Amino acid sequence: MTSFPHRSLAVFSRDASFSLPLPPRGFDKTPLCTGDLRLADLWREFENQEAKRSSSEDAPEATDVEQVGPRLGTLRFGDIVVETPTFMPVGTVGSVKALSPHDVHDIGYRLILGNTYHLNLRPGVEVLERFGGLHRFMGWPGALLTDSGGFQVMSLAKIRKLDEQGVSFANHLNGGKVVLTPESVVGIQDTIDSDIQMVLDECTPFPATHDEARASMERSMRWARRAREGRSARTRAQFGIVQGGMYGDLRARSARALRELDFEGLAVGGLSVGEPKAEMRRVLAATVPHLPHDKPRYLMGVGAPDDLFDGALLGIDMFDCVMPTRNARNGTVFVRTAVNPTGKLHVKNAVHKDAEIPLDPGCRCYTCRHFSRAYLRHLFVAEELLVHRLLTIHSLTLLFDLMAEFREALRFDKPWEALLDVRARYVGTSSPAAKV
Ligand SMILES: [Zn+2]
């Protein structure tokens, strides 16, 4: 069996020696984010917001606003070290689909996701308790973050009832009734032995009116308090989740409410739920300044290269998304723009039938070092299971390297130029980011 290094409570340290200068002259006209957003414009907007707040009576304290912009940090779980900003592969039911834990670890990942909703239904807490948690059950030597399942309840359960107490729904596996409350979700995650627990929240639908989004956010904040008070001696780190729909004022209120509860980190939830990308950037830019600078910031459910780049640029430390692994299993992988300006490659296309080159000649991954596009296309057309593993390895390696190069760029003498270079090499024209 895999041996497990000693783990302890997650500790985040921001690299305080690092501070990025404002973009030099000339960068004002350079689009750094999707849509019309430019980082220099964003900074000016934040300065204006701060000035308005400090001159308004019912406004929060000026200290409520943190500096925006990319940052470097580390998350430590005992001997396990994760450099941030980082992407986290998703292993919903205790497996990053198509990969072994060794594959995931070999790429470089040390922190992956599990999902409380799914793991609670199957294999269930009794089995996980017997095995002493999910790490040992699945043979994963790294750290685990578990999503609370609020999003899955809203999106998957056909018959559900939501009230102040929590949410009840029919188990899609056997029809039985399941109830999740803020407190019970903490207990389930204690049994999973998560290194980072997410609180149960209500995922606000999109679109929602200001009143709807406010009521939903306020309930999530009451639930967050109950989750915080429901911790046990087994609970490790716990993150609160900022909600508030597409409304900057509600996002700010939500972040303030969570700051009072002193979570070990804060997440931004309820984005990437169907809104345009530029709208997501706008809401994120309005939210980040209200998150504590000395705690990790996690943008949930986001994982395309342009989203990772823009999110990290705005000061997000952690990301997760099923899309990169799901797309890989469907035959679409991310590639660097030198390979295809769109940033994507469809393996099944007939053009690859005789291609002897790898998916991405500049890629270090196992797949690109050993296999041709022609072979991968053959596996895909023949519906051989191996293709799922090989394509997933490639896409997860590319996202790992994008984040590593982003971090490296920040340490260069000319970080802005280096960041633009990373963006040009990883963000393709299939993303709206490249069209501006
Ligand atoms: Zn590769």
Within a domain: residue 92?
A: yes
Helical ranges in 16-133 per DSSP H: 39-54, 101-107, 116-121, 125-130
Same domain, 328 and 303: no
Residue 10 lies in a domain: no
Q: Tell me, what's the pLDDT at 282? A: 87
Statement to judge: residues 154 and 235 lie in one domain: yes
- Look at residues 297, 321, 345 and tell me which one is the last residue of a structural domain: 321
Residue 4 lies in a domain: no
Please identify every stretch of the chain with a pLDDT value under 50, giving residue numbers as ranges. Answer: 1, 59-63, 432-436
Question: How high is the pLDDT of residue 35?
Answer: 61
pLDDT computed for residue 46 by the predictor: 62
The size of the chain, in residues, is 436
| Residue 431 domain flag | yes
Q: Can you give the CATH number for the domain in which 114 is found?
A: 3.20.20.105
Select which of 307, 317, 320, 360 is catalytic. Answer: 320
| pLDDT at res. 53 | 59
Lookup result for tokens 């990790």: 296
Predicted TM-score (pTM) of this structure: 0.93
Could you please report the per-residue DSSP string of 387-410?
HHHHHHHHHHHHHHHHHHHHHHHH
pLDDT of res. 225: 98
Beta bridge partners of 319: 87, 299
Residue 112 Cα to ligand 1 midpoint, Å, equals 20
Cα–Cα distance list, 382 to 324, 348, 368, 385, 387 (Å): 22, 10, 20, 9, 10
Last residue of a domain, one of 289, 321, 353: 321
Number of domains in the chain: 2
Domain that holds residue 432: 323-436
In a domain, residue 195? The reply is: yes
Gap between the Cα atoms of 136 and 126, Å rounded:
14
Predicted pLDDT of residue 133: 97
Alpha carbon of 370 to ligand 1 centroid (Å):
9
Last residue of a domain, one of 304, 321, 338: 321
Ligand 1 centre and the CA of 326: distance in Å? 16
Residues 224 and 341 in one domain: no
Cα 244 to ligand 1 centroid, rounded to whole Å? 38
Within a domain: 432: yes
Please indicate whether residue 421 is annotated as part of the active site: no
Judge whether 350 lies within some domain: yes
> Within this chain, do residues 350 and 286 fall inside the same structural domain, yes or no?
no
- pLDDT computed for residue 39 by the predictor: 65
How remote is the CA of residue 77 from the centroid of ligand 1, in Å?
29
Res 63: pLDDT: 45
Instruction: Mark whether 377 and 419 lie in a shared domain.
Output: yes
Are 306 and 366 found together in one domain? no
Q: Where are the alpha helices (DSSP H) in 8-67?
A: 39-54
Residues 236 and 339 in one domain: no
